[in-house]
Structure 1
Amino acid sequence: MAENMNLPADNTAKGQGQPGKDRLVEVKHLKKYFNVRSGVLKAVDDVSFDICRGETLGLVGESGCGKTTCGRTLLGIYEATGGDVFFEGNNTSTMNKQLKKDFKRNAQIIFQDPYASLNPRMTVSDIIAEGMDIHGLYMHKERQERIYEMLNLVSLNKEHAGRFPHEFSGGQRQRIGIARALAINPKFIVCDEPISALDVSIQAQIVNLLIKLQGELNLTYLFIAHDLSMVKHISDRVGVMYLGCLIELATSAELYKNPLHPYTQALLSAIPIPDPEAEKNKQRVVLEGDIPSPINPEPGCRFRSRCRYAKAVCSEKRPELKEVGPGHFVSCHLY
C-alpha cells in the first residue's frame, strides 16, 4: 500500500540559487547538440541554473524537451557541446584526474526504467557493489556489510542480496537502483524520472523514500519528472523546459501559485483536481498551433507558434531568462 503523501537580471552572474545557501552545482550556458540526418538537433540549448546543497530542483516539461539530456550532460554521460558545469566550484570539464574521479563518485544517477537499468546477469549484491569496486571502497568484509546496510536503507532484506533482478517487482528494482547510487556516499543525485515506469500505488513510496534519504544523508537532487503534482511535493524549486530551453524557474510554491510563462500556465492548468466539481469548472489553457522542430530551430522564441501573446519581437529575438521577482526567473518578452 502506498505511504500517505502530505502534499504541501543576469542569471549567469547572479545565479538562481536560494540566497544564503551554498551552491553545489552550477550550470552555465549548457548546450548539447546531436547531428542528425536532417540537420542539428538542439536538445539542450543554452541552459543555466544552480542547485544549492541539500535542496531538490525539479525539472519538468513535455517529452522531448531535453530534461533527461540535460541531466545526463550535466553528469558527463553525454559530452557537452558547449557551456560549463561546476561542482563544488570546480569546472568538471577542466578537472584534474583526481577531482574528476571524486566528481564521478559524488554525482550519481537513478535511471527511469528499473527493468533496463539493472544487469540481469548480476546478483543484487554485485549490482550494489559495482561502484564500490570501481572506486576501491569497502573491501572484503566491509563490502558485504555495506551491501546489507544499503539494502536495509531502502527497506529490502539482506536475503535479497543473492537474488537476480528478474525476481523482483518494479518498485523493488528501483529500490535496488537507489541502493546502488547511494553505496558510494554521493553528494548529488540526478533522479531521471525515477517513478514514471512504476505503478501509481508504488510511486508515492519511492518519492517518500527519496525525501527520507535526503534528510538522513544530506543529499542534493535534480528531480526530472512528468508528474507535476509529484514534482511540487518533492521540490524546493522547479524549472520548466521547452524544446531545449529553460523558460521559467521559481520556488515550488511560487511557480504553482503564480506561473508567468504562457507555457507554464498551460502545463499547470492540465493538472487534474481531485474534486469533480472544481475539475469541471476550472479554466484550462488550451494550446493551439504547431510544435516547431528542435532540428535547426529558427531565431526567436521557441514557443511563439503556440503562444496567444506572440508579437513581432518573438520571431526576431530569443528572450533571456531574467529575474522578474525574488527568485522567480522567466524567459518571455512579456516581462
Structure 2
Amino acid sequence: MKKTEKLIEVKNLKKYFHVSKGKLLKAVDDITIDIYKGETLGLVGESGCGKSTAGRTIIQLYKATSGQVIYDGEDIQKKSSTEIKNMKKKMQMIFQDPYSSLNPRMTVLEIISEGIDNHEFHYNKKEKEDKVYELLELVGLNKRHATRYPHEFSGGQRQRIGIARALAVEPEFIIADEPIAALDVSIQAQIVNLLQELQEKKGLTFLFIAHDLSMVKYISDRIAVMYLGIIVELSDSEDLYDEPFHPYTKALLSAIPVPDPKIERIRERIILEGDVPNPMDPPSGCRFRTRCPSAMDICTESVPKWQEVSSNHFVACHLYNV
C-alpha cells in the first residue's frame, strides 16, 4: 500500500564544509525530497557522494548551510535548542560501524540507558532496567547481555545493541547509515530482516543509506540515487530496478551479480570511465557528464532539470527533456 502522509520534507538542503585555502566542499548541494510515514526510503550512491552527510544534516547532527528540514509539518531550523532536543527524541540514527559507535567503557545497560537519561524519561531504576531488557529481547538478545561490554560481542550483535539504543527513546524516524556495510554477508540479511520486523511492529519510518543496491531493493519502498552531492533519480523500488533512466543508475545496477550463470555471462556490464570528480570543483552542467557514456554538448552547458518521466519516477538527465 502506497504511503501518502509526509513525515519529513527536505527542501533545497545544502551542507558545505570550509576546507583549505577558503575552498568549499559541497557535500550536499541542493537536494529536495519527501519521506512518507511508515516507508523505507533507500538512499544509494558511491562512497563520497554525500549520502551520509545528507542523513546527518537531516537529523541535525550537522547544521545545514541552507535549506529546510520540515518534520511532521514543523520547520526544525526555526525551533529553539530545547524544542530541537525534544524533536530529536523522534529521530534517531543507527551508525555504520558497530565497533566504533559503542563506548567500550560502558556496559550494554549503560549504552542503551544513555538516551533514556539524556531525554529525561522519568523511569526509576527498576523501570529503566526492565525497559533495557525489553529492548534487548526485541532485537534478538537477552537480559544476560546487559552487564557485558561491547568487546564481548560479534559485529552483528553490536549492531543489534546499536539498534536497541536507537529504539530506547521511542522514535518515529530512524536513519540507518550503512548499517550492514561493516558486517559479514551472512549477518547482513539478519539485520535487514530485523529492521523490517521492527518497522512493522512499531510503525517506524526509515531512511536507509547504502551503496549496495542489491540489499536496498529488499528493504526500500522507494529509492533515491545520489551522485556528487545531488539526487539524480527517484522511483519506487521495483520500477528503478526494472527500468532505470539515469545512466549512472544503469551503471550501478549493471554491477550487481545475477544468480543465474547463463544470464550473468551474456548481460552487459557498464564500466564507468574515470573517477568521481572533486566535490570542491564539480563539473559544469550535469555533474555526471565526465563519466557518462551518453554525454551530449548540452550536458556541459546546462544543469538538467528534475522531472517526472513516468508515474512517480523522477530523473535529472538531458536524455529525457520533455
TM-score (norm 2): 0.96
State which of 102, 125, 144 in structure 2 corresponds to 1:159: 144
Q: CA–CA distance in 1 between the matches of 2:86 and 2:36?
A: 19
Q: CA–CA distance in 1 between the matches of 2:3 and 2:128?
A: 38
Residues 52-108 of structure 1 show CA distances to partners (whole Å, capped at 9, x for unaligned) of 000000000100000100000111101111111000011110023453122110000
Partner of 1:35: 18
- 1:25-64 matched pairs, under 5 angstroms: 25-37=8-20, 39-64=23-48
Partner of 1:77: 61
Q: State the identity as a percent.
A: 60
Partner of 1:282: 267
Pairwise CA RMSD of aligned residues?
Answer: 1.3
Once the two structures are TM-superposed, the CA of residue 139 in structure 1 deviates from its matched residue by 3.0
Letter in 1 for 2:8: V
Does residue 260 (structure 1) correspond to residue 245 (structure 2)? The answer is yes
Once the two structures are TM-superposed, the CA of residue 263 in structure 1 deviates from its matched residue by 0.5
Partner of 1:316: 301
Once the two structures are TM-superposed, the CA of residue 308 in structure 1 deviates from its matched residue by 2.0
State which of 293, 313, 316 in structure 2 corresponds to 1:331: 316
Does residue 187 (structure 1) correspond to residue 195 (structure 2)? The answer is no
- 1:1-335 matched pairs, under 5 angstroms: 21-37=4-20, 39-137=23-121, 138-335=123-320
Asked if the contact 2:283/2:290 (under 8 Å) is kept, the reply is: no
> Structure 2 stretches of 5 or more lacking a match?
none
Residues 272-304 of structure 1 show CA distances to partners (whole Å, capped at 9, x for unaligned) of 011222111111122224532111324311000
Letter in 1 for 2:42: G
Letter in 1 for 2:36: C
Q: CA–CA distance in 2 between the matches of 1:199 and 1:139?
A: 38
SS in 2 for 1:201: helix
Asked if the contact 2:228/2:276 (under 8 Å) is kept, the reply is: no
TM-score (norm 1): 0.92
Once the two structures are TM-superposed, the CA of residue 172 in structure 1 deviates from its matched residue by 0.4
Letter in 1 for 2:15: K
> Structure 1 stretches of 5 or more lacking a match?
1-17
SS in 1 for 2:115: helix
